[in-house]
Structure 1
Amino acid sequence: MDYNMKGKVAIITGGGKGGGIGYGLSTAFAKEGVNLVVTGRNVKKLTDAKEELERLYGVQVLAMQCDGGVEEQVAHVVEETVKTFGRIDFVINNAQNSASGVPLAEHTKEQFDQAVYSGLYATFFYMKHCYPELKKTKGSVVNFASGAGLFGKPGQSSYAAAKEGIRGMTRVAATEWGPDGINCNIICPLVMTDALAKWKEEYPAVYEQTIKGIPAGRFGDPELDIGRTAVFLCSEGAKYISGECITMQGGSGLRP
């Protein structure tokens, strides 16, 4: 399906190459002819993404190292994006860092801050600084939350707190920004990543048991499942969808 996005501009946080959701998102938007700004902390992952996406899909990619928890750095990314492309159409807040597997009672403030700053604050900063440009283009925001927050996964307290904050903030933005023509939505994914593939190799029995709990019988694909859904949510055909939380977990994330 052609979504008529050629020449539009998307900022994708955590969009570098490295076997995660971010590069799947970058690929899905690049295939639609969308010029990209990919951000993250790892310069090599960003430059590798820039080289491959430009070579394969003929789009222009601006790769920028950025700590999303630092407002000045985010403001600089937005400024450089406008300077380079003259517009911002889509903001995809994917990046997140957290101490996984640590029980709530054992969490340190530093670990809690890590999740909140890299996820909730970063999402807030990008939305805040991109808003004037999104208002001009009547653009779209896609933020990422998690089943960790929806279903209270053990060992994920700081991660879940950040993700639930993102969900709440996104719904408020959908209400406040709807009159400006900006739609804002949330995806809660269950995705096959390089890290998960390694876990599958090391613990095949546990993996098989996990798969039994997913009616679709597999984990999601970063590009074909998650990336394509994000593209749709940014398309003209989805402009009336706003404030929604889409649980993409192969039928295992059922909720009211």
Structure 2
Amino acid sequence: MGILDGKVALITGAGQGVGRGIAMAMAREGAGIAVVDRNGETAAETVTLIEDLGGGTALYRICDVRNSDEVNSCVASVVEALGTVDILVNNAVDATVGIALQDIDDEQFLISFASGPFASFWFMRACFPYLQDGGRVINLRSGTENQSLPGYGPYVAAKAAVGGLTRAAAREWGREGITVNALVPFALTPSAEADLAAQPGRLEAVYRQLSIPRSADVEADVGRAAVFLAGPDASFITGCTVSVDGGGSFFA
């Protein structure tokens, strides 16, 4: 038996990287998984991996999280198929990085917010009726909020807004039986690898600053932290941010 038996988890951006790792970890603990991604091919791959675990229930839905109507339709479709949503993981994000703040245009700035705090809010609002009395929300933040790396302005601002949304929802929804927390991972996802590849020596420099000089395993490290926040042992934890970054939160 798993600690998430009978629960349904909706995870955005679960077609790869951190989202897939969380989906796999929660599936191993018995949760039914709704893989939400804009890439149907990678989303289907995650579903197959879950089904290969043996007996896992999983489906995928294609959704552009930057569109509130699509978010509402996605949640309704998941509830129709799986009955409810007990756990919501807002992981999907899209952002342009590597551009100086003064050179960023409106669209590049807004896309970070549409896919970050706006999308997180839209999913939270749509899932709220199903999350009452025991539901869990886990939002993904970023260590770049503290580091404020040059070229990451829109992403930093959007992730900071997700932090504010997490705390506000935790305060309001606690009396509705819902906990709302956040994770800050440091993992070499495909997008992170592409970004680091354009900065020779950057990864080694990051490792030198970490207490544990490696990147997180998306399932064994980040996924298990998400399982903890979604499980019974975290029922009295809300409004908190858990850093799964090998000590990266110690430096700014």
TM beyond 0.5: yes
Per-residue deviation at 1:210?
Answer: 2.4
Residue in 1 that maps onto 2:219: 223
Question: Alpha-carbon deviations, 1:65-110, whole Å to 9, x = none?
Answer: 0011111111111111111111211000000000011111111101
Q: Is there any run of 5+ residues in structure 2 with no aligned partner, and where?
A: none
Q: Is there any run of 5+ residues in structure 1 with no aligned partner, and where?
A: none
Residue in 1 that maps onto 2:4: 5
Number of aligned pairs?
252
Matched, 1:111 2:91: no
Residue in 1 that maps onto 2:43: 46
Is residue 183–residue 239 contact of structure 1 (8 Å, CA) maintained in 2? yes
The separation in 1 between residues aligned to 2:235 and 2:191, in whole angstroms, is 34
Residue in 1 that maps onto 2:124: 127
Does the residue aligned with 2:30 lie in a helix, a strand or coil? coil
The separation in 2 between residues aligned to 1:202 and 1:119, in whole angstroms, is 24
The separation in 1 between residues aligned to 2:221 and 2:167, in whole angstroms, is 23
Residue in 2 that maps onto 1:74: 71
Matched, 1:209 2:205: yes
The TM-score, its normalising length taken from structure 1, stands at: 0.92
Per-residue deviation at 1:59?
Answer: 1.5
The separation in 1 between residues aligned to 2:168 and 2:191, in whole angstroms, is 33
Is residue 119–residue 163 contact of structure 1 (8 Å, CA) maintained in 2? yes
The separation in 2 between residues aligned to 1:105 and 1:167, in whole angstroms, is 24
RMSD: 1.9
Is residue 216–residue 245 contact of structure 2 (8 Å, CA) maintained in 1? yes
Residues 204 and 107 (structure 1), Cα distance of their counterparts in 2 relative to 1, 3 Å cut: closer
Residue in 2 that maps onto 1:243: 239
Residue in 1 that maps onto 2:170: 174
Does the residue aligned with 2:3 lie in a helix, a strand or coil? coil
Residue in 2 that maps onto 1:55: 52
The separation in 1 between residues aligned to 2:6 and 2:102, in whole angstroms, is 49
Does the residue aligned with 1:167 lie in a helix, a strand or coil? helix
The separation in 2 between residues aligned to 1:246 and 1:169, in whole angstroms, is 15
Does the residue aligned with 1:220 lie in a helix, a strand or coil? coil
Matched, 1:14 2:40: no
The separation in 2 between residues aligned to 1:232 and 1:147, in whole angstroms, is 20
The separation in 1 between residues aligned to 2:192 and 2:13, in whole angstroms, is 17
Matched, 1:29 2:21: no
The separation in 2 between residues aligned to 1:113 and 1:213, in whole angstroms, is 32
Amino acid at match of 2:112: A
Residues 202 and 114 (structure 1), Cα distance of their counterparts in 2 relative to 1, 3 Å cut: closer
Per-residue deviation at 1:180?
Answer: 1.2
Is residue 21–residue 193 contact of structure 1 (8 Å, CA) maintained in 2? yes
Per-residue deviation at 1:197?
Answer: 5.0
Question: Alpha-carbon deviations, 1:167-207, whole Å to 9, x = none?
Answer: 00110110100011110001111112245556777877443
Using the aligned pairs only, state the percent identity: 34
Does the residue aligned with 2:250 lie in a helix, a strand or coil? coil
